[in-house]
């Protein structure tokens, strides 16, 4: 069965520092991959997605993610975080099959140190 693992429950970084949030998936074929962000009290907003092609994808708010098939990973990165980036981040996968549904990781909460 497909699954998504976000190994870091909570990460704190200093404002202006770089960020990398980890995501690993388990699936036999190439899945569709997503990163969503959720600010407190809000719904989820799509940051970026990977379907095929270039393995480095750019998203909104200066985020990017790299799909690495050999490591079954889709890590999210940002070169310099801002206080407004404090939120919870969810990685998600959709398997390419007629009975598939999106599976979310358990999330990583990002705190920003002033």
Partner 1 sequence: DAGITQSPRHKVTETGTPVTLRCHQTENHRYMYWYRQDPGHGLRLIHYSYGVKDTDKGEVSDGYSVSRSKTEDFLLTLESATSSQTSVYFCAISPDQQETQYFGPGTRLLVL
Question: Rounded to whole angstroms, how far apart are CA atoms 114 and 111?
Answer: 10
Applying CB under 8 A, does 29 fall inside the site for partner 1?
Answer: no
Taking the least distance from each CB to partner 1, the nearer of 18 and 106 is 106
Beta carbon of residue 114, minimum distance to partner 1 (angstroms, whole number): 26
Beta carbon of residue 16, minimum distance to partner 1 (angstroms, whole number): 29
Tracing tokens 């890590």 back to the chain, one arrives at 75
- Compute φ and ψ for 55, nearest 5 degrees: -80, -10
Beta carbon of residue 113, minimum distance to partner 1 (angstroms, whole number): 23
Cα→Cα distances 81→4, 45, 112, Å? 24, 18, 8
Please identify which residue in 63, 65, 90, 110 interacts with partner 1, judged by CB under 8 A. 90
């Amino acid at each position: 069965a497909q699954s998504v693992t976000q190994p870091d429950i909570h990460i704190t970084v200093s404002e202006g520092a770089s960020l990398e949030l980890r995501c690993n998936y388990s699936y036999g074929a190439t899945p569709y991959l997503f990163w969503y962000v959720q600010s407190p009290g809000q719904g989820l907003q799509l940051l970026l997605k990977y379907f095929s092609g270039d393995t480095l994808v750019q998203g909104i708010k200066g985020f990017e993610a790299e799909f690495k098939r050999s490591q079954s990973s889709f890590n999210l990165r940002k070169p310099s975080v801002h206080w407004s980036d404090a939120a919870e981040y969810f990685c998600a996968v959709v398997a390419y099959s007629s009975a598939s549904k999106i599976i979310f990781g358990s999330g990583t909460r990002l705190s920003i140190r002033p």
